[in-house]
Amino acid sequence: MGRRMNSLFTSVGRRVELLRAFRRAYQALRLPGRIVGLDSDPLAPALRFCDRRYVVPRTGAPGYLPRLVEICQREEIGLVFALIDPDIPFLAAQRAPIEATGARLAVVPAAAAEICADKWLTWSCFQRAGIPVPRSWLPGDPELERQALPLFIKPRRGSASHHAFMVRTREELRFFSHYVSEPIVQQLLPGPEITSDVACDLQGNVLGVVSRRRIEVRGGEVSKGVTVRDERILEACARVARELGAVGPITVQCLMDGDTPRFTEVNARFGGGAPLGIAAGVDSPRWLLARAAGMEIDLPPLGSYQVGLYLSRFDDSLLLTDAERTPAPSGRL
């Protein structure tokens, strides 16, 4: 049994499956600790699956950082996870005051957070590291006018596939180059899209990688998928993690170009489909908790997980009264 390890999750939203996986990990390790969840919305369903839950200002809003620090101190937090993209650069930039409470951030360093938040910087990082990438341009590049269509355009800073478009004509390319905020234009790849969940401990050691093919996406998050294995993808993902100096979870995406995986972006957090990889045998919650608590664990070889395991999601509902949804004066529900 390791030392007590309380975990805090920011912006828990709908991540019920992930919190359940962490609860199972605590039980499997017989590790003392509690799950603390934060969100700005008192109706965020995942709050109901936390041992302690707080309604807080939006990340980066006035009062958010002192509130976060106060909660970390009050709850004796040992480990902090970010669950949405906007939280990552903020938390990474505020590492010193947060970790002064005794908590450790399972969040990439600030420089890596900036790379992950900008798809052009991500593309440049991959290219320097010798990782296969799609051909990419910024608007105004003379090379862009000579490229065959169709192409794909999306924001450099964005998530959940918002404002991402296929462009089939020069007129569409010119229009969307102005319509999309800070766009990047890329080679249109046939796919399929492979998403890989990578877990690193707080010293940056890669604990595991698991890949899944997206079958169906809803609202930018996978709703159906299946685990796959490609040694080139596993090795490239481990290289990406080392290149970024990653700690905690990251999610690496690539699209297949015939037989070649071309890597497109990194989300420096647990992916929405992480429960599939956990069920397949890459038990990142258990491994991350154990390492943070100083417990010995036996890690399987990289790529040891069940291939051909499918994920198919459905909606569920929580019913709350006014009293149950109203925060206490402390902000704790």
DSSP string, 275-331: HHHHHHT--HHHHHHHHHTT---PPPPTT-S-TT-EEE---------HHHHSPPTTS
Angle of the 16-29 helix axis to the 284-292 helix axis, nearest 10: 50
Phi, psi of 39, deg, nearest 5: -165, 155
Q: Is 135-187 in CATH node 3.30.1490.20?
A: yes
Confidence (pTM)? 0.95
- Specify the pairing of strand 260-267 against strand 206-218: unpaired
Q: Which residue type occupies 264?
A: T
- Give the pair of three-digit tokens for residue 27: 């039980």
Beta bridge partners of residue 256, listed in sequence order: 261
Please give the pLDDT value at position 2: 65
Q: What is the pLDDT tens value at each position of the chain, 333 positions in all? A: 668 999 999 999 999 999 999 999 999 999 999 999 999 999 999 999 999 999 999 999 999 999 999 999 999 999 999 999 999 999 999 999 999 999 999 999 999 999 999 999 999 999 999 999 999 999 999 999 899 999 999 999 976 667 899 999 999 999 999 999 999 999 999 889 999 999 999 999 999 999 999 999 988 789 999 999 999 999 999 999 999 999 999 999 999 999 999 999 999 999 999 999 999 999 999 999 999 999 999 999 999 999 999 999 999 999 999 988 888 878 888
Domain edges within the chain: 6-117+191-325, 135-187
Residue 228: helix, strand or coil by DSSP? Answer: strand
Q: How far is 72 from 68, CA to CA, in rounded Å?
A: 6
Please give the pLDDT value at position 11: 98
Q: Which residue type occupies 106?
A: A
Q: How many residues does the chain have?
A: 333
Q: Do the domains at 6-117+191-325 and 135-187 have one common CATH topology?
A: no
For the domain bounded by 6-117+191-325, which CATH number is listed?
3.30.470.20
Smallest CA-to-CA distance from 108 within 125, 133, 120 is with 125
Q: How far is 268 from 84, CA to CA, in rounded Å?
A: 9
- Kindly tell me the number of DSSP H helices and DSSP E strands found in the chain: 11, 15
